[in-house]
Amino acid sequence: MPVGEVVRLAAGAGFGGVELRAHPEEQVHPRIGLRERATVREQFAEAGVEILAVSGYARVAAAHDERGEEELAAELTELVVLASDLGAQFVRVFPGGGDRPVGEADADAARHLAAVAPFAAERDVRVLLETHDSHPRGADAARVLGPVGHRNIGALWDVLHPWLAGEEPVDTYAGLAPYLGFVQVKDVASTEDTAPLPLGAGTVPLADCIGALARAQWDGWLCWEYEKRWYPRAADLPGLLSSGREYLERLVASATP
């Protein structure tokens, strides 16, 4: 989708920020030049919409040979630079540990994140490990983030994956609380049918997730991730945006002490 259309839809539906998917098939990714980055930043700023995060595809818990280690380090650096140039607070990365032994995957993920942390601090960007794939639960992410111990390395709570893994929202929040950057919300029909649905139309315990945040007086971003890219039959997003924002606002209002 063209950047201008993203800006128009976000502003028109009353969203304050956008998480940009930084894949090469998109218009914004680490290979675009400085002029293009400046143009994107200006478009969002003029509309009063923040670029919240750059969502990369680096897999920090995966096994890499020597060349792969160099490529991963370069990828993480490029994502941090892109986020900084766009004025984004966060970079999203995946675990991607596959079926590796847990201890090895955790140690490699912590090492890779610790290595990029000083550079991220220089650029005033936080690199966030998403609850996803090999590390779906808050407890899994915390095993990596605890040893890193750097304020510019944190967690992104994708509410779907801990729930699919059987972790209760209150426990996910407890594990991620010291590291939490922002929260991705979404809804699906069931644990077997994960095609995206309008918020509130599925079975993901969104009220419990937001309730856990509210009880802790957490005051960060909720970002609606709608993965039509992988589910072509899902309803088109533009017509759902305003009602989705209103649904989230109602949940937040009802959960606020």
Q: Tell me the helix, strand and coil percentages in the chain, rounded to 5.
A: 45, 15, 35
Asked if the model's pLDDT at residue 23 lies above 90, the reply is: yes
Name the average pLDDT for the chain: 97
CB atoms near residue 145 (< 10 Å): 26
Range of the domain at 146: 52-240
- The predicted pLDDT at position 257 comes to 77
Tell me whether residue 248 is in a domain.
no
Q: Which helix (H) or strand (E) holds 100?
A: none
Residues 6+ apart with CB under 8 A from 74: none
- 3-state class of 102 per DSSP? helix
Tell me whether residue 256 is in a domain.
no
Q: Provide the pLDDT confidence category of residue 1 given band limits of 50, 70 and 90.
A: confident
Tell me whether residue 10 is in a domain.
no
pLDDT in tens, 137-174: 999 999 999 999 999 999 999 999 999 999 999 999 99
| 182 backbone dihedrals φ, ψ, rounded to 5° | -155, 180
- The predicted pLDDT at position 220 comes to 97
pLDDT in tens, 53-103: 999 999 999 999 999 999 999 999 999 999 999 999 999 999 999 999 999
The DSSP bridge pattern shows strands 50-59 and 222-224 to be unpaired
Number of domains in the chain: 1
Asked if the model's pLDDT at residue 17 lies above 90, the reply is: yes
Give the tokens for residue 159. Answer: 């509410």
Tell me whether residue 178 is in a domain.
yes
Tell me whether residue 195 is in a domain.
yes
pTM (whole model) above 0.85: yes
Tell me whether residue 32 is in a domain.
no
Report the alpha-carbon distance of residue 173 to residue 208 in Å, rounded: 10
In this structure, what CATH number is given to the domain that contains residue 76? 3.20.20.150
- The predicted pLDDT at position 256 comes to 83
Tell me whether residue 12 is in a domain.
no
Tell me whether residue 223 is in a domain.
yes
